[in-house]
Structure 1
Amino acid sequence: MANEAQPCPCDIGDRIEYGGLGQEVQVEHIKAYLSKPPVDTGKAVIVIHDIFGWELPNTRYITDMITGNGYTAILPDFFAGQGAWNPADDFFTPFFAEWVKSRNARKIDKEFDAVLRYLRQQCGAQRIGVVGFCWGGIGVHHVMSTYSDVRAGVCVYGVVKDFGDIYNLKNPTLFIFAENDIAIPLEHVAQLTQKLKEHCKVEYHIKTFPGQTHGFVHRKREDCAPEDKPYIEEARRDLIEWLNKYV
């Protein structure tokens, strides 16, 4: 995501070759990737993608990982057909700033409502959580500040400066950050921590992973460096455990 006056690239990292275990479906006016567990548990998770969109194999991999833990998981196109960011384009131009303005992660209610209806009416979901990455992390913060019926959220390196002044979360939320994230400096994480202490009345947890960079949970190969693998696995495990506890 853009970082203050000087945008920093949201590096696509390792684009994995992954076909997916789910299927693409139409949810009212948007498309989505849907993954279902062998046995229906009545629990579902909505995954909000980053700027690289709903078709990124890495995010579909995470969606299937969530399904493997007993959830119907759905990864909708929250850009509503506008198209994802092209990694070949230049982040350091006014074009990126204009591009991201046209895709406001805090204005996704129309799409989110459609997905909620689909999960309840077509999938029989009774308990629903939400997980989001980067741009989608901002979306998670918005959802958890707005929708009291979403039981839990996991915000993975959601850009803190785009949260605004919304800190009164409705339900338990986990925030995952990377120590060496050029898009989210640690002072921003400290500010978020202080604001939540002052205003949040529900359970929340903020965890920063040492030595990691933006995208490490879903856009870095587990075998890229031996020292990174434990943190990648731990963050993914934390994500699932938070959902298991509160959804």
Structure 2
Amino acid sequence: RDPAALRHRVHFRLGRRCLPVRLVPDWLPWVPQGCGAALSCPVPSSSRGGQRSSGGWRRTIVPDFFVGQEPWDPSGDWSTFPEWLKTRNARKIDKEFDAVLKYLKQQCQAKRIGVVGFCWGGIAVHHLMLKYPELRAGVSVYGIIKDAEDVYSLKNPTLFIFAENDAVIPLEQVSLLTQKLKEHCKVEYQIKTFSGQTHGFVHRKREDCSPEDKPYIDEARRNLLEWLNKYV
């Protein structure tokens, strides 16, 4: 698609720096479909290069990598989910990503770009961090490429967040990813697995969070923001 057609404010201010962030949602309809949506995310204050950056809020673009196709309806027939997923491959988003990347660089003069993704979007982030050196940092939240061997050649710092009791991503796959990265990865990375948590815990709605889970949710969200703040 023509990047000029993306009519979103996709940059934010953190101190004196302009820091765009790409957010890749999962396969559920939690954001408006079509061209995407814009969100505001909190930014913790930190020290970088001897200069203190102030906290605040930043604008984040949520692109529509389904290109107008409907997200999965949780009330649908789950036996058809594999067929639905075939038309929405998280590793076949380069065309759309290139368009937004071009827009960020040319229209927003973006110099530092990060990407965050959840579930389906976490797989997309893993894929993008293997291909695009322009991305200063990535956060893949319970998403993992498990149908290929090229999972370790990350281009820039990447944080992986997993849940111990994830029915979608068993711990064996996390262990294999950990082994591959330890053997081959040449950039900074971190893998965190949160005890007792299940798939979707990081972006669970407030009303669905139990008091026992809240510390883990808060820590994961804080880790996500700190990673972006450190590397982007």
Judging changes above 3 Å, is the alpha-carbon distance between structure 1 residues 168 and 38 closer, same or farther for their aligned structure 2 residues? Answer: closer
Q: Tell me the SS of whatever aligns to 1:180.
A: coil
Distance in 2 of aligned mates of 1:108 and 1:141: 12
TM-score, normalised on structure 2?
0.84
CA offsets 1:101-159 (integer angstroms, 9 cap, x no match): 11111110011111111222222321001000010111001110000111100000004
TM-score (norm 1): 0.79
Which ranges in structure 2 are unaligned for 5 or more consecutive residues?
Answer: 44-54
Higher strand proportion, which one? Answer: 2
Residue 119 of structure 1 pairs with residue 95 of structure 2: no
Matching residue within 7, 12, 17 for 1:41: 17
Letter in 1 for 2:21: V
Q: Conserved in 2, the CA contact under 8 Å of 1:167 and 1:196?
A: yes
Aligned to 1:50: 26
- Alignment match, 2:202: 217
Residue from 189, 194, 205 that aligns with 1:204: 189
> Is 2:63 the partner of 1:76?
yes
Select the residue among 170, 174, 178 that pairs with 2:163.
Answer: 178
Q: Where do 5+ consecutive residues of structure 1 fail to align?
A: 1-25
Q: Give the match's secondary structure for 2:22.
A: strand
3-state DSSP of counterpart to 1:195: helix
Contact 2:11/2:19 (CA < 8 Å) preserved in 1?
no
| Deviation, structure 1 residue 90 | 2.2
Q: Secondary structure at the match of 1:103?
A: coil
Task: Please list the CA deviations of residues 208-238 of structure 1 after superposition, one character each: whole Å capped at 9, or x if unmatched.
Answer: 0111110011124266211111111111100
Which of 202, 226, 242 is the equivalent residue of 2:211?
A: 226
Aligned residue in 1 for 2:48: none
Within 2, Cα distance between the matches of 1:88 and 1:195?
37
Residue 37 of structure 1 deviates from its aligned partner by: 3.9
> Which residue of 2 is the match for residue 64 of structure 1?
40
User: SS in structure 1 opposite 2:206?
Assistant: coil
**Kept after mapping to 2: 8 A contact 1:33/1:75:** no
Mark the CA change 1:116 to 1:53 in structure 2 (over 3 Å): closer, same or farther: farther
Deviations 1:156-181 (A, max 9, x none): 00044245432110000000001111
Question: Which residue type is aligned with residue 89 of structure 1?
Answer: G
Instruction: Pick closer, same or farther for the CA change 1:237–1:50 going to 2, 3 Å.
Output: same
Counterparts in 2 of 1:29 and 1:90: CA distance versus 1, 3 Å: farther
The aligned length equals: 218
Tell me the equivalent position of 1:86: 73
- Superposed CA deviations along residues 15-36 of structure 1, whole A, max 9, x for unmatched, are xxxxxxxxxxx96498686565
Code of the residue aligned with 2:31 in structure 1: it is E
Q: Does structure 2 retain, via aligned residues, the 8 Å contact 1:46–1:129?
A: yes
Is 1:156 matched up with 2:132? no
RMSD: 2.7
